[in-house]
C-alpha cells in the first residue's frame, strides 16, 4: 500500500470509530456489561505508550471493540453479515494512535469523546 493511501485509510477508519462511539454514547448504548471474549489492548500497543493521553485512547479503542462486537451480534441475530467485519491488529492500533496524536496537536476535540468512552 502506498503511504498516502495508508494514511487516508487509517484517518477514515479513525473518523468512523470516533463518530460511531460518539453516536452510540449519545443514544446511551454501551457494551461494557457484555461478556465478550477478547483481551483489551495494553499500553505498549500504542504509537507512544508514554503519552499521558494513552490510557484514555485505549479506553476509546476498547469501547469501540466492545461496541462493534455488540453490533455484530445484533446483525447476526437478524441474519445479516457482521456490521464490522474487521480485526484490528496491534500495528493498526499504533497507526490509529498516531492519527489521534496528530489531531490533538492541531487542536482537535477528540478528547471529549474519549472522556465519555
Tally the domains of the chain. 1
- Please check whether residue 95 is in contact with residue 57, taking contact to mean a CB–CB distance below 8 angstroms: no
Q: Please state, in angstroms and rounded to a whole number, the distance separating the CA atoms of residues 60 and 16.
A: 13
Residue 50 has pLDDT above 90, yes or no: yes
Give per-residue pLDDT as tens, 51-89: 999 999 998 998 899 889 889 999 999 999 999 999 999
Q: Which of 62-71, 86-95, 108-117 has the lowest mean pLDDT?
A: 108-117
The mean per-residue pLDDT over the stretch 43-53 comes to 95
pTM (predicted TM-score):
0.84
- Angle among Cα 3, 95, 18 to the nearest 5 degrees reads 115
What range does the domain containing 54 cover?
Answer: 3-116
The mean per-residue pLDDT over the stretch 83-112 comes to 86
Give per-residue pLDDT as tens, 12-43: 999 999 999 989 988 988 777 777 777 889 99
Closest by Cα among 73, 64, 80, 74 to 30 = 64
Burial class (CB in 10 A: 0-12, 13-18, 19+), 66: buried
Q: Please state, in angstroms and rounded to a whole number, the distance separating the CA atoms of residues 117 and 113.
A: 6
The segment with the largest mean pLDDT, out of 36-40, 63-67, 90-94, 108-112, is: 90-94
Amino acid at each position: 500500500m502506498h503511504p498516502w493511501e495508508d494514511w487516508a485509510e487509517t484517518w477514515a477508519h479513525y473518523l468512523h470509530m470516533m463518530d460511531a462511539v460518539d453516536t452510540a454514547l449519545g443514544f446511551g448504548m454501551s457494551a461494557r456489561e457484555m461478556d465478550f471474549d477478547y483481551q483489551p489492548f495494553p499500553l505498549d500497543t500504542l504509537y507512544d505508550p508514554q503519552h499521558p493521553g494513552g490510557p484514555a485512547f485505549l479506553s476509546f479503542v476498547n469501547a469501540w471493540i466492545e461496541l462493534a462486537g455488540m453490533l455484530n451480534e445484533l446483525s447476526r441475530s437478524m441474519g445479516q453479515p457482521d456490521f464490522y467485519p474487521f480485526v484490528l491488529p496491534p500495528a493498526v492500533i499504533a497507526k490509529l494512535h498516531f492519527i489521534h496524536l496528530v489531531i490533538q496537536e492541531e487542536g482537535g476535540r477528540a478528547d471529549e469523546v474519549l472522556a465519555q468512552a
